[in-house]
């Protein structure tokens, strides 16, 4: 009998750089104050990458404890998704570096959807597992967003910080993992949060540096308005899609962009603010690492337990947003069982057939070349 597959969050980990920049530190750099930043954003300090931190090294540091907790090693992974807007290089995708550094032997891709990236990644990974295509998937949010921050621009430099967080998903037969999701995009607002140069439209030039066009430019008020609206609307829709009511959610984990956006969201949802997890005071906005980092810390602090229902929402450049309703814990399918699920068995058989055919073709290649040479002569 067909049994529905779920994608259980089976392991998690985080990495935050050691170097702290406080609001007091920023007072020395731009015309701002601890009071203004605290009141307008809720942020007290943020972490900035150390000399040895790269996007890939941070992603790996967050992934290793996640794999260990899930009882897996890197070779057990079927797919790696690294979500980021600040990869080590424009090419290659940082996901391949992470795959190599972990010693995994599977597909890997980089996913970019602004600060919503990791939630997009979680929904994508869930779909692969639910379809029976893959069993074990690593989803990482890793961000060194400070590289694109102008530390003379008081509007942006107070907001952002660096961090990484990761989860491992495994198949389960019990309702767990992502129960419903919504992925959203409104590209008409692309210029509200924008890096003008460094892409193919405006490659980097001397003018880029002169005019600071390689930094993040933000229309804070526009993003604020968008976010305040979309948070409650998308949460309500996604919770309803899971067959639940806002009161059924044990903990809300919002993108840590601005405490006032969270206040507005809680009010519109008619939910107590205490149900909205916040660690913005410690890290600021860590872009796509923000939601998984908050989730990991909520778990570490015992704010979440097996069976709890969690609603997570992120928003950011694009403008994009992404929302998931997740149930924690419960049940796992043994690898042998999932291996012989129909979809997976067909997939394994197809891969084996292709491998054999590839091998035969490779072996025959010198013979073809030899025959063609004889023909040409
Ligand atoms: N310190 C002191 N003053 C500052 C400041 C800072 N760090 N940043 C801006 N200001 C000033 C402005 O220049 C403005 O001064 P003016 O009235 O003399 O022109 C004043 O504060 C009010 O600016 P405003 O933009 O209306 O402030 P705000 O209350 O909207 O707060 C943000 C600004 C950026 C904190 C807020 O708009 C925000 O959080 N937006 C969303 C940003 C976001 O989430 N981005 C990431 C999405 S992933």
Q: Do the domains 6-177 and 179-376 sit in the same CATH topology, yes or no?
A: yes
pLDDT 10s digits, 9-21:
999 999 999 999 9
What separation in Å is there between the alpha carbon of 229 and the centre of ligand 1? 18
Global pTM value: 0.89
What separation in Å is there between the alpha carbon of 148 and the centre of ligand 1? 18
Position 330 scores a pLDDT of: 60
Position 329 scores a pLDDT of: 84
Q: Indicate if ligand 1 lies below 6 Å from the C-beta of 292.
A: no
The pLDDT of 75-80, averaged and rounded, is: 98
Closest C-alpha residue for ligand 1 atom 34? 220
pLDDT tier, 374 (very low <50, low <70, confident <90, very high otherwise): confident
Position 3 scores a pLDDT of: 78
Closest atom, ligand 1, to C-alpha of 157: 7
The pLDDT of 262-269, averaged and rounded, is: 96
Q: Indicate if ligand 1 lies below 6 Å from the C-beta of 316.
A: yes
Pick the CATH number of 179-376 from 3.40.50.11720, 3.40.47.10, 2.40.50.100, 3.40.50.300: 3.40.47.10
Residue 257 has pLDDT above 80, yes or no: yes
pLDDT 10s digits, 146-160:
999 999 999 999 999
Q: Indicate if ligand 1 lies below 6 Å from the C-beta of 26.
A: no
The residue that leads in pLDDT, 299 or 349, is: 299
Residue 167 has pLDDT above 90, yes or no: yes
Ranges of each domain in the chain: 6-177, 179-376
The pLDDT of 280-299, averaged and rounded, is: 98
Residue 332 has pLDDT above 60, yes or no: no
Q: Indicate if ligand 1 lies below 6 Å from the C-beta of 116.
A: no
The pLDDT of 294-318, averaged and rounded, is: 96
The pLDDT of 165-192, averaged and rounded, is: 96
Residue 360 has pLDDT above 80, yes or no: no
What separation in Å is there between the alpha carbon of 151 and the centre of ligand 1? 15
Position 369 scores a pLDDT of: 64
Task: Find the range with the poorest average confidence among 78-87, 209-218, 237-246, 359-368.
Answer: 359-368
Closest atom, ligand 1, to C-alpha of 26: 7
Q: Indicate if ligand 1 lies below 6 Å from the C-beta of 257.
A: yes
Q: Indicate if ligand 1 lies below 6 Å from the C-beta of 40.
A: yes
Position 2 scores a pLDDT of: 66
Task: Find the range with the poorest average confidence among 111-120, 161-170, 274-283, 329-338.
Answer: 329-338
Residue in 84, 116, 220 to alter for ligand 1 test, most ligand atoms within 8 A of Cβ: 220
Position 175 scores a pLDDT of: 87
What separation in Å is there between the alpha carbon of 215 and the centre of ligand 1? 17
Position 353 scores a pLDDT of: 62
The pLDDT of 187-194, averaged and rounded, is: 96
Position 336 scores a pLDDT of: 37
Position 334 scores a pLDDT of: 44
Closest alpha carbon to 1 in 333, 341, 336, 332: 341
pLDDT tier, 371 (very low <50, low <70, confident <90, very high otherwise): confident
Residue 177 has pLDDT above 60, yes or no: yes
Architecture of domain 6-177: 3-Layer(aba) Sandwich (3.40)
What separation in Å is there between the alpha carbon of 220 and the centre of ligand 1? 6
Please give the positions annotated as active site: 115, 255, 285
Percent of the chain with pLDDT over 90: 85
Q: Indicate if ligand 1 lies below 6 Å from the C-beta of 158.
A: yes
Percent of the chain with pLDDT over 70: 88
Residue 358 has pLDDT above 70, yes or no: no
pLDDT 10s digits, 86-117:
999 999 999 999 999 999 999 999 999 999 99
Q: Indicate if ligand 1 lies below 6 Å from the C-beta of 224.
A: yes
pLDDT 10s digits, 213-246:
999 999 999 999 999 999 999 999 999 999 999 9
């Amino acid at each position: 009998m067909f049994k529905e597959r779920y994608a259980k969050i089976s392991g998690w980990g985080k990495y935050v750089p050691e170097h702290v920049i406080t609001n007091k530190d920023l007072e020395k750099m731009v015309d701002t104050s601890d009071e203004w930043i605290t009141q307008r954003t809720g942020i007290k300090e943020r972490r900035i990458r150390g000399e040895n931190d790269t996007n890939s090294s941070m992603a790996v540091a967050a992934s290793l404890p996640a794999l260990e907790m899930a009882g897996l090693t890197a070779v057990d992974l079927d797919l790696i998704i690294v979500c980021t807007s600040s990869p080590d290089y424009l090419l290659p995708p940082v996901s391949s570096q992470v795959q190599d550094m972990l010693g995994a032997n599977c597909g890997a891709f980089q996913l970019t959807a602004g600060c919503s990236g990791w939630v997009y990644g979680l929904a994508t990974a869930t779909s692969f597992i639910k379809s029976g295509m893959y069993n074990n998937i690593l989803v990482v949010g890793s961000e060194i967003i400070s590289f694109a921050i102008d530390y003379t621009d008081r509007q942006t430099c107070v907001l952002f910080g660096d961090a990484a967080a990761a989860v491992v998903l495994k198949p389960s037969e019990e309702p767990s993992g992502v129960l419903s999701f919504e992925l959203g995009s409104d590209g008409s607002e692309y210029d509200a949060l924008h890096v003008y140069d460094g892409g193919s439209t405006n490659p980097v030039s001397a003018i880029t540096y002169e005019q600071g066009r390689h930094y993040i430019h933000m229309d804070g008020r526009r993003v604020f308005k968008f976010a305040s609206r979309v948070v409650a609307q998308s949460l309500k829709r996604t919770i309803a899609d899971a067959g639940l009511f806002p009161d059924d959610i044990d903990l809300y984990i919002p993108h840590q962009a601005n405490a006032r956006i969270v206040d507005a969201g809680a009010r519109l949802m008619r939910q107590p603010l205490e149900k909205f997890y916040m660690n913005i005071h410690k890290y600021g906005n860590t872009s796509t690492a923000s939601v998984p980092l908050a989730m990991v810390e909520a778990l570490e602090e015992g704010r979440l337990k097996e069976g709890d229902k969690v609603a997570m929402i992120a928003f950011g450049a694009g403008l994009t947003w992404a929302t998931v309703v997740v149930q924690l814990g419960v049940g796992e399918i043994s690898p042998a069982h999932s291996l012989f699920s129909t979809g997976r068995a067909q997939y394994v058989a197809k891969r084996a057939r292709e491998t054999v055919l590839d091998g035969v073709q490779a072996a025959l290649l010198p013979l073809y070349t030899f025959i063609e040479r004889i023909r040409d002569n």
